[in-house]
Amino acid sequence: MRIDIITCVPKLLESPFAHSITQRAQEKGLVEVHIHDLREYTEDKHRAVDDYAFGGGAGMVMMIEPIARCIEALKGERKYDEIIYFTPDGARLDQKMTNTLSLQKNLLMLCGHYKGVDERIREYFITKEISIGDYVLSGGELAAAVLSDAIIRLIPGVLSDETSALTDSFQDNLLAPPVYTRPAEWQGMEVPEVLLSGNHKKIDEWRETEALKRTKERRPDLLE
């Protein structure tokens, strides 16, 4: 898979792809992540990528031309399965959406900043608009990092234990059961005995029961 991310703050996206699972996925050649600095596509002598909003009001709007130039250049090199824009008024990201996107080959992500991008960019280029939750971020960069991370861990071969992504919360609409490691007793609190029993059938049953219990208590909406 290849992920291209367009941003006017490329530094914000350095760390999320430079460590841990996303880094290893790139080293293994399972995903390529390319960050594109929008300011390299402006012809403005101050490298501005935003301008005042027509109609007035607070906040700047990201201009059409640098974004259009950047997207056209990338589209000229390959076909994108989706061109994603991050915005609070997009469809709410969930595991189903990340599962679907993890099957794609080329994803292009556009990060908005300030008051967002000129509406015509959305109408002309964008195939999917995504929100990562009902709150407002300063820009789409953290949303792009969240989505990319959620997608990358689903790519076959990325996680060393192949079954690990399948037992994540939200797969099968269930939250994950509690997990424990050593020591078996801490502050008088003991690890559930079944987990020490070595009986894998019993352990699987316990995990299933706990996952269901936790989902009923915390997220009954997932079971509807």
Residues at the interface with ligand ADE (CB under 6 A): 86-88, 131-133, 135-137, 140, 143
Q: What is the 3-state secondary structure (H, E, C) of the chain?
A: CEEEEEECCHHHHCHHHCCHHHHHHHHCCCCEEEEEEHHHHCCCCCCCCEEECCCCCCCEEECHHHHHHHHHHHHCCCCCCEEEEEEEEEEECCHHHHHHHCCCCEEEEECCECCCECHHHHHHHCCEEEECCCCCCCECHHHHHHHHHHHHCCCCCCCCCCCHHHHCCCHHHCCCCCCCCCCCEECCEECCHHHHCCCHHHHHHHHHHHHHHHHHHHCHHHHC
Q: In terms of CB distance, is 58 or 136 closer to ligand ADE?
A: 136
Q: In terms of CB distance, is 127 or 164 closer to ligand ADE?
A: 127
CB of residue 143 vs ligand ADE: minimum separation in angstroms? 4
Q: In terms of CB distance, is 90 or 177 closer to ligand ADE?
A: 90
Q: In terms of CB distance, is 112 or 177 closer to ligand ADE?
A: 112
CB of residue 75 vs ligand ADE: minimum separation in angstroms? 22
Q: In terms of CB distance, is 140 or 177 closer to ligand ADE?
A: 140
Residue number of the CB closest to ligand ADE reads 86
CB of residue 142 vs ligand ADE: minimum separation in angstroms? 8
CB of residue 136 vs ligand ADE: minimum separation in angstroms? 5
CB of residue 97 vs ligand ADE: minimum separation in angstroms? 12
